[in-house]
């Protein structure tokens, strides 16, 4: 379950990251395309409006040229501009605001107050300059209040010898401008016109702005140089493109929202959303399947492992699944098998150890030894050798006490040496000082631990087969010391030595003689306890003597 | 196992299909029910509503009786609208009392109602977008005091007796006149928002009260009718004050027949009402009362940049 959720989370994060990155990349390219498009459209529109204004200016120029001769009829006859539905009025007023001529026959209303009107005052009569006014309501005719843009131009004409100056008015309604600005600019984009002072000339939602709902892009567009820029507004990112006209101080502004791929195209956004959801579903599904093939075999292995912990070594894994699971299952089986074998081996070794120890003990309480010793004591007692009787009995008592040593497997080196000394005391007396002995040791090892009853069987061997029947006095030396970081006992005698044939096999197989068993037993016990690198080492020269080394680990 | 996987895939495909069905663009249907579809004022409200509708992707239906005096018809129009189950209704109630019941029916049918311009005798509506009509009456009285003053006698031409703006404007006007001035209201008449009737009533009023110095028309039709009467009687000496200013009234103002007008902003009311409806449908918090400003115009400032924008609609 944990694995399923982990993979799901990782995969979902990955999918989201990919989506996010792709979205950003797409948005960048959409931004660039939109910018190119907008700039182009704004350029086109400003070109057409420029040429429209130029046309209007040339109309006024033509009329003012005709006017110079003050032939009004000619003006009327040649020009019928009134036929144009984008021109409301063409009229000429003198410097006092009195009507001089008009291209149509509609009557001006009384008290029209031309002199006070903004369009009349914004140009000097006769100046030959022209100006486009902001949109305003024209009130030349009764009951007619139309929104127009006025082109005012200062004009001059002569009437005989009199030079006159005046103002020509060309009122443009918005028919043409509206059409020119109705170019589509993306799905929600629009075009509008402001003048260089930020006053609105034309906007597709002009009435809305007049009623008081601001277009927040207008102040931004005012501050912009010609070109395109991206702005972030309350309702998203906006691309604003601006182009200033040549024939008037007007600027064309194109605004289009840049909502990016995901908000721009709702269908696409939903599609991507669906894909993401689909992938998430798919991932969850796959996670479940994967966990079915991996996690559940793991669980089974875990349960099996629990059984192994509870000492059931007959467990066998049959888990199936992917390669890894199979490997794991195989290793598990191998491991269980090995543990099982090791356990059996340890068990066997332990049993063997007990058995050999028992044998060593049995060897101690050898009835022959006891009988012979007691027999010796009896003879000593009979001969009244009190002193030796006490010595012998005390040695015998100590010998047995140390043999038992409280039931422990190991005893200290010094105790082991005492044990073998007691034995030597007894045997020396029994053999009537046939041999001498010497025990030396390194002070460093006396506290080390050693298996008990190691030296006694060796010494017994040395007495019986070495020094017992010598024609001269035998010597047995025992030394305990450290040799190559190991504890070493060395038992040497100057006896007959061991026949090389026997020596060769002495540690290999169970010998038939009783004393042979003792030596074999010692070696076996050491190796069972400490491993095969430890044990006995025999060095014997016929008629010169035998040296037995006992190598043990250095334990304290 | 394989069957299970197939099943899950099948479910997935079905879910995906269902999802794609709902991806159509979200838009709302809103019914705008006004007092009269044949009036410059309500046309302007509709223009504003359309502008907001375009911005917020709302499909608007413009409904209402042709003549404002046929407010009885508005009841059945509201009921028909409820049957169609629009997402919201924007209502300008023709009668303060009669429209309360159909409005509550709409609310009961889980259609939020936004009132525009004129209220009803109920408080079940969600939001109310209007001019502060009491204040409009007051401002009108204030202007008359400023421009005429003294002990002038005033004739008031109100419009529909039980419509809330009429009640409020009349109250605001007469409260101010009686409390803060020495002028006197000699008669108040109701023209049912009918220009011809207003013209007739004005003529009768002048006949009945020859000393009358001021006439106040409390809506566009009242003031227009009064202006026509004054023009016909050649009595431009009588001070005519009005609320609202149509193009016809603007002409009378230029001629000096109408002397002062208090302007509302019907376009903005329409815009705000749809914007409010949108906010309600988007579960955003909305103000219970949204008030639009009033402005004072006269012959001198009517062509100023600010006021010509409010008087003359831009086409």
Least confident range of A15-19, A35-39, A83-87, A374-378: A83-87
Out of A133, A149, A172, a domain closes at A172
> How many domains does chain A contain in total?
2
In a domain, A273, yes or no: no
A22 vs B259, more confident: B259
Which among B16, B23, B267 is the nearest to A266, CB-wise? B23
Distance CA B268, CA B290 (A): 11
Nearest CA of chain A to the CA of B164: how many Å?
Answer: 24
- Say yes or no to pLDDT of B2 above 50: no
Contacts of B48 in chain A (CB under 8 A): 207-208, 211
Among A133-142, A252-261, B130-139, B262-271, which is the least confidently predicted range?
Answer: A252-261
Reply yes or no on whether the pLDDT at A5 is more than 80. no
Banded model confidence at residue A441, pLDDT cuts 50, 70, 90: very high
The per-residue pLDDT for A362 is 62
User: Cβ separation of A270 and B268 shorter than 8 Å?
Assistant: no
Q: What percent of chain A has pLDDT over 70?
A: 91
Distance from CA of A206 to the nearest CA of B (A): 7
Q: Which of A219-228, A235-244, A265-274, A370-379 has the lowest mean pLDDT?
A: A265-274
pLDDT recorded at residue B24: 45
When mean pLDDT is compared over A77-81, A266-270, B82-86, the highest value belongs to: B82-86
Taking the domains of chain B in order of start, what are their residue ranges?
A: 28-131+265-292, 133-263
Of A135, A205, A212, the CB nearest to B265: A212
Buried b (16+ CB within 10 A) or exposed e, A33-59: ebbebbbebbeebbebbbebbeebbeb
Residue of B nearest to A274 (CA): B16
Which pair of tokens denotes residue B289? 């009362």
- In degrees and rounded to multiples of 5, residue A162 shows phi and psi of -80, 130
In this structure, is residue A480 part of a structural domain? yes
* Percentage of chain B modeled with pLDDT above 90: 63
Distances (CA, A) of B203 to A242, A285, B95, B227, B260: 58, 87, 27, 10, 20
Residue B83 and residue B106 in contact, taking contact as beta carbons nearer than 8 Å = no
- Report CB contact under 8 Å: B251, A274: no
Chain B residues close to A285, C-beta within 8 Å: 5, 8
Chains A, B: CB contacts within 8 A come to: 76
Enumerate chain A positions whose Cβ falls within 8 A of a Cβ in B: 134-137, 139, 142-143, 145, 147, 174, 205-208, 210-213, 266-267, 270-271, 273-274, 277-278, 281-282, 285, 289, 292
Nearest CA in chain A to B309: A210
pLDDT recorded at residue A63:
81
What is the spatial distance between Cα A545 and Cα A465, in angstroms, rounded to a whole number?
10
Asked if residues A106 and A116 have their Cβ atoms less than 8 Å apart, the reply is no
Q: What pLDDT is recorded for position B21?
A: 45
Last residue of a domain, one of A172, A198, A226: A172
pLDDT mean over B59-72: 87
Radius of gyration of chain A (CA): 62
CB contact under 8 A, B12 and A145: no
Contact criterion met (CB below 8 Å) for A74 and A157: no
Q: Is the pLDDT of residue A82 over 60?
A: no
In this prediction, residues A252-270 reach a mean pLDDT of: 72
Residue A386 to residues A374, A375, A436: CA-CA distances in angstroms? Answer: 14, 15, 22
B269: nearest CA partner in chain A = A211
Answer yes or no: do A282 and B247 touch at CB < 8 A. no
Question: Is there a domain that residue A537 lies in?
Answer: yes
Nearest to A213 among B8, B271, B313 (CB): B271
Rounded Cα gap, residues B292 and B289, in angstroms? 10
The pLDDT score that the predictor gives to residue B55 is 87
Least confident of A448-462, A501-515, B130-144, B194-208: A501-515
Instruction: Confirm whether pTM is higher than 0.95.
Output: no
For B19, name the nearest residue in chain A, comparing CA atoms only: A274
For the domain made up of B28-131+265-292, the CATH class stated in words is alpha beta
Q: Which of A13-17, B152-156, B217-221, B233-237 has the lowest mean pLDDT?
A: A13-17
pLDDT 10s digits, A505-518: 777 766 666 556 67
Sorted by sequence, the CB contacts under 8 Å of residue A175 that are 6+ apart come out as A85, A86
Q: Do β-strands A486-493 and A545-552 pair in parallel, antiparallel, or remain unpaired?
A: antiparallel
Higher pLDDT, B223 or A316: B223
Nearest to A184 by CA among A72, A34, A30: A34
Which residue numbers of B have CB closer than 8 Å to A's CBs? 1, 5, 8, 12, 15-16, 19-20, 23, 25, 47-48, 51, 247-248, 250-251, 254, 265, 267-268, 271, 303, 305, 308-315
Query: Rounded to whole angstroms, how far apart are CA atoms B233 and B225?
Result: 12
pLDDT one-digit tens code per residue, A120-138 = 988 888 888 889 998 999 8
Within 10 angstroms of residue A241's Cβ, the number of other Cβ atoms is 28
Residues of B within 8 A of A210 (CB-CB) are 267, 309-310, 314
pLDDT tens-digit readout, A471-521? 888 899 999 999 888 999 999 998 888 888 777 777 776 666 655 667 888
Distance between CA B296 and CA A145 in Å, rounded?
Answer: 19
Give the residues across from A131 on adjacent strands: A152
Distance CA A545, CA A539 (A): 9
Average pLDDT for chain A: 83
Average pLDDT value for residue range B121-127: 90
pLDDT of residue A226: 86
> What is the CATH number for A97?
3.30.450
Please write down the long-range contacts of A242-249, taking CB distance under 8 Å and 24 or more positions apart: A242/A42, A243/A42, A243/A43, A243/A46, A244/A46, A244/A196, A245/A46, A245/A49, A245/A50, A245/A53, A246/A50, A247/A50, A247/A53, A247/A54, A247/A57, A248/A53, A248/A132, A248/A195, A249/A132, A249/A195, A249/A196, A249/A197
- Looking at residue B86, what is its pLDDT? 92
Evaluate if residue B176 carries a pLDDT over 90.
Answer: yes
With bands split at pLDDT 50, 70 and 90, how would you rate the model's confidence at A98? confident
Domain end marker among A124, A141, A172: A172
Q: What is the mean pLDDT of residues A10-14?
A: 81
Quote the longest CA-to-CA distance of chain A: 192
- Determine, for residues A145 and B247 on separate chains, whether the beta-carbon distance falls below 8 Å: yes
Closest CA relative to residue A550, chosen from A541, A539, A537:
A537
- Buried b vs exposed e over A341-355: b needs ≥16 C-beta within 10 Å? eeeeeeeeeeeebee
Q: What is the ipTM for the molecules in this complex? A: 0.83
Between β-strands B260-263 and B239-243, what pairing exists: parallel, antiparallel or unpaired? parallel
Q: Given an 8 Å threshold on Cβ–Cβ distance, is B23 in contact with A137?
A: no
CA dist B213 → B176, B201, B221, B238, B297 (Å): 17, 16, 20, 5, 20
- Minimum mean pLDDT range among A156-160, A391-395, B62-66: A156-160
Q: What is the DSSP letter of A257?
A: E
Nearest by CB to residue B268, choosing from A139, A211, A278, is A211
Of residues A143, A147, A277, nearest to B314 (C-beta): A147
Distance CA A358, CA A218 (A): 111
Q: What CATH number does the domain containing A534 carry?
A: 3.30.565.10
Chain B partners within 8 Å of A205 (Cβ): 51
Cα gap A242→A217, rounded to integer Å: 11
Fold match, B28-131+265-292 / B133-263: yes
Q: Is A486 left (phi over 0), alpha (psi -120 to 50) or beta?
A: beta
Domain B133-263 fold is: Rossmann fold (3.40.50)
Judging contacts by C-beta atoms under 8 Å, the chain A residues touching residue B268 are: 211-213
- Does the beta-carbon distance from A267 to B19 stay under 8 Å? no
Quick one: pLDDT band at residue B23, thresholds 50, 70, 90?
very low
Residue with tokens 């002072």: A197
The residue range of the domain holding A403 is 365-552
More confident of the two residues A72 and A519 = A519
pLDDT class of A196 with cuts at 50, 70, 90? confident
Question: Which of A122, A188, A210 has the highest number of chain B CBs within 10 A, making it the mutation to test binding with B?
Answer: A210
Nearest CB among A205, A281, A292 relative to B12 is that of A281
Tell me the C-alpha distance between B131 and A373, whole Å: 138
């Amino acid at each position: 379950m944990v694995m399923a959720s982990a993979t799901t989370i990782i995969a979902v994060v990955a999918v989201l990251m990919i989506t996010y990155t792709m979205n950003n990349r797409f948005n960048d390219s959409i931004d660039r395309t939109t910018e190119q498009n907008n700039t182009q459209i704004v350029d086109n529109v400003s070109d057409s409006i420029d040429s429209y204004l130029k046309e209007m200016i040339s109309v006024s120029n033509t009329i003012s040229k005709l006017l110079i001769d003050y032939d009004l009829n000619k003006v009327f006859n040649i020009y019928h501009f009134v036929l144009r539905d984008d021109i409301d009025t063409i009229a000429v007023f003198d410097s006092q605001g009195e009507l001089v001529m008009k291209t149509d026959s509609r009557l001006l209303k009384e008290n029209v107050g031309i002199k006070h009107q903004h369009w009349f005052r914004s140009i000097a009569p006769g100046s030959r300059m022209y100006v486009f006014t902001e949109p305003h309501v024209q009130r030349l005719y009764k009951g007619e209040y139309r929104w127009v843009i006025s082109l005012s131009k200062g004009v001059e004409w002569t009437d005989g010898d009199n030079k006159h100056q005046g103002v020509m008015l060309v009122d443009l309604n918005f028919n043409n401008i509206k059409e020119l600005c109705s170019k589509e600019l993306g799905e929600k984009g629009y075009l509008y016109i402001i003048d260089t002072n930020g006053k609105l000339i034309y906007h597709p939602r002009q009435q809305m702005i007049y009623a008081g709902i601001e277009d927040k892009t207008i102040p931004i567009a005012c501050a912009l140089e010609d070109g395109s820029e991206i702005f972030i507004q309350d309702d998203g990112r906006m691309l604003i493109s601006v182009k200033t006209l040549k024939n008037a101080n007007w600027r064309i502004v194109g605004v289009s929202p840049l909502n990016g791929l995901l908000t721009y195209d709702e269908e696409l956004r939903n599609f991507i959303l669906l894909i993401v959801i689909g992938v998430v579903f798919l991932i969850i599904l796959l996670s479940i399947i994967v966990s079915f093939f991996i996690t559940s075999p793991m669980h089974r292995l875990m349960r099996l492992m629990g059984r192994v912990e509870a000492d059931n070594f007959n467990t066998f894994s049959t888990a199936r699944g992917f390669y890894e699971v199979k490997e794991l299952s195989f290793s598990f089986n191998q491991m269980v098998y090995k543990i099982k074998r090791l356990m059996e081996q340890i068990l066997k070794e332990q049993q063997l150890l007990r058995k050999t120890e028992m044998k060593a003990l049995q060897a101690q309480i050898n009835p022959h030894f006891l009988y012979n010793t007691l027999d010796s004591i009896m003879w000593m007692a009979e001969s009244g050798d009190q002193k030796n009787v006490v010595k012998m009995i005390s040695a015998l008592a100590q010998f047995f006490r140390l043999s038992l040593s409280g039931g422990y497997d190991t005893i200290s080196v010094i105790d082991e040496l005492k044990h073998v000394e007691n034995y030597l005391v007894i045997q020396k007396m029994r053999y009537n000082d046939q041999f001498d002995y010497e025990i030396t040791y390194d002070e460093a090892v006396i506290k080390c631990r050693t298996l008990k009853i190691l030296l006694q069987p060796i010494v017994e061997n040395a007495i019986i087969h070495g020094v017992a029947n010598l024609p001269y006095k035998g010597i047995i030396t025992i030394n305990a010391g450290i040799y190559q970081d190991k504890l070493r006992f060395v038992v040497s005698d100057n006896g007959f030595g061991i026949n090389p044939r026997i020596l060769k096999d002495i540690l290999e197989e169970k010998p038939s003689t009783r004393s042979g068993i003792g030596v074999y037993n010692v070696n076996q016990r050491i190796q069972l306890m400490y491993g095969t690198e430890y044990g006995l080492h025999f060095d014997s020269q016929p008629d010169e003597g035998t040296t037995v080394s006992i190598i043990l680990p250095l334990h304290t | 196992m394989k069957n299970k996987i197939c099943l899950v895939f099948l479910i997935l495909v079905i879910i995906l299909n269902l999802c794609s069905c709902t991806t159509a663009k979200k838009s709302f249907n809103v019914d705008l029910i006004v007092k009269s579809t044949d009036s410059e004022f309500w046309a302007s409200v509709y223009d504003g509503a359309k502008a907001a509708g375009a911005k917020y992707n709302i499909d608007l239906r413009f409904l209402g009786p042709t003549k404002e005096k046929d407010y009885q018809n508005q009841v059945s129009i509201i009921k028909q609208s409820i049957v169609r189950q629009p997402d919201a209704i924007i209502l300008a109630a023709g009668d303060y009392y009669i429209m309360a019941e159909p409005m509550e029916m709409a609310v009961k049918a889980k259609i939020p109602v936004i009132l525009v311009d004129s209220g009803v005798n109920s408080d079940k509506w969600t939001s109310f977008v209007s001019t502060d009509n009491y204040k409009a009456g007051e401002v009108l009285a204030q202007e008359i005091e400023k421009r005429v003053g003294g002990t002038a006698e005033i004739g008031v031409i109100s419009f529909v007796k039980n419509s809330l703006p009429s009640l409020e404007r009349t109250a605001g006007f007469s409260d101010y006149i009686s409390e803060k001035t020495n002028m006197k209201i000699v008669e108040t008449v109701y023209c049912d928002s009918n220009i011809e009737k207003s013209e007739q009533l004005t003529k009768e009023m002048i006949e009945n009260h020859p000393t009358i110095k001021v006439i106040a028309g409390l809506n566009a039709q009242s003031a227009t009718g009064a202006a026509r009467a004054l023009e016909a009687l050649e009595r431009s000496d009588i001070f005519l004050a009005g609320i609202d200013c149509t193009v016809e009234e603007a002409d009378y103002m230029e001629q000096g027949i109408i002397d002062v007008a208090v302007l509302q902003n019907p376009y903005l009311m329409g815009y705000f009402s749809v914007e409010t409806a949108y906010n309600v449908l988007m579960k955003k918090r909305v103000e219970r009362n949204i008030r639009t400003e009033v402005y004072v115009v006269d012959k001198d400032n009517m062509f100023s940049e600010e006021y010509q924008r409010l008087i003359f609609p831009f086409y």
